Amino acid sequence: MRTPEERRPTAVIAEDEPLLAEELAELLQALWPQLQVVARVNDGVAALHAVEEHRPDVVFLDIQMPLLNGLEVAQRIGGSCHIVFITSYDAHALQAFEAGAIDYVLKPPTAARLLTTLERVKVRLQRPAPDLRGPIAQITAAAVAPKRHLQWINASRGSAVRLITVEEILYFKSDQKFTLVVTADSESLIRKTIRELSEELDPTMFWQVHRSTIVSLYAIDSVTRDERGNLSLRLKNRPETLAVSEAHTHLFRQM
């Protein structure tokens, strides 16, 4: 394999959301002008064809794509090029990173995070790409096993400990060393962090909308946007609104 010094390094972007693909391409151009994006595709089959045709040094690979997902594509690519996974789900990304991928980028990509990733890519390009087929097969097999999501919370209210089912919970919000558990008529404290909760809660029922906030989808009444473009959530059974950070606005693009 030729080194990056002998020619311009090449990349393929495989991302099924056009706006995100465009944003990623623009960031790559700004942060690493020497990197040549030789193809942009929007499904797993096209990603395989692009890798076979262009033999890129690195592929930026969305984990969730039509036809074949990113993990399936990575298995078939083997060790033919380095891989950076693109994902909305931090847990999936960490698994992929531990399996030997260069790195991962959370949606939507940010310049600071991508710059760190590209520095790692430049170092990794000086040696052969790892073959991820074995590790990803193990990840895929583990993902097939049914996961038991959190069903209830033991929360403190004064001197009492209350059992709260997840169906009652409207949202969680970090509060210094504790996390606030909010229902329609109560607020309680637990010691679990937002990060821990994001891994234990059912993602079809709860979304993280801010680094400090997880909300139940069933609790959302409406999504509003202010004059600056910032999103906030109105709740069905509470007067307060919840801010949506820029990193999580993509969750509501179809709304």
In a domain, 2, yes or no: no
Cα–Cα–Cα angle for 142, 148, 150, nearest 5°?
135
Confidence band, pLDDT 50/70/90 cuts, at residue 146: low
The average pLDDT across 68-84 equals 88
Q: Does the pLDDT at position 143 exceed 70?
A: no
Rg of the chain taking only CA atoms, in angstroms: 21
User: For residue 168, what is the domain's CATH number?
Assistant: 2.40.50.1020
pTM as predicted: 0.54
Tell which of 109, 144, 179 closes a domain. 144
Tell which of 125, 144, 163 closes a domain. 144
Does 119 share its domain with 172?
no
In a domain, 94, yes or no: yes
In a domain, 98, yes or no: yes
Q: Name all contacts of 113-119 with Cβ < 8 Å and 24+ positions apart.
A: 114/24, 114/27, 114/28, 114/31, 115/31, 117/84, 118/28, 118/31, 118/32, 118/35
Does 114 share its domain with 165?
no
CB 51 within 8 A of CB 40: no
- Which residue range(s) make up the domain with 226? 152-252
In a domain, 82, yes or no: yes
Which residue, among 129, 137, 215, has the nearest Cα to 172 in the 3D structure? 215
Overall domain count for the chain = 2
* Burial tier of 14 (Cβ tally within 10 Å: 0-12, 13-18, 19+): buried
Determine the pLDDT at residue 3.
Answer: 47
Does 108 share its domain with 195?
no
Which residue, among 122, 72, 7, has the nearest Cα to 114 in the 3D structure? 122
Does 104 share its domain with 216?
no
* Burial tier of 130 (Cβ tally within 10 Å: 0-12, 13-18, 19+): middle
Does 116 share its domain with 42?
yes
How do residues 192-210 score in pLDDT, each as one tens digit?
899 889 989 998 899 999 9
Beta bridge partners of 165: 152
Does 137 share its domain with 156?
no
Q: What is the side-by-side strand order in the sheet with 206-210?
A: 160-165, 152-157, 187-190, 178-183, 169-175, 213-216, 206-210
Sign of CA dihedral 19, 21, 22, 23: positive
Does 29 share its domain with 124?
yes
How do residues 104-115 score in pLDDT, each as one tens digit?
888 878 888 899
Does 116 share its domain with 168?
no
Which residue type is seen at 244? V
Does 165 share its domain with 225?
yes
Does 131 share its domain with 158?
no
Does 128 share its domain with 171?
no
Does 129 share its domain with 174?
no
Tell which of 113, 144, 175 closes a domain. 144
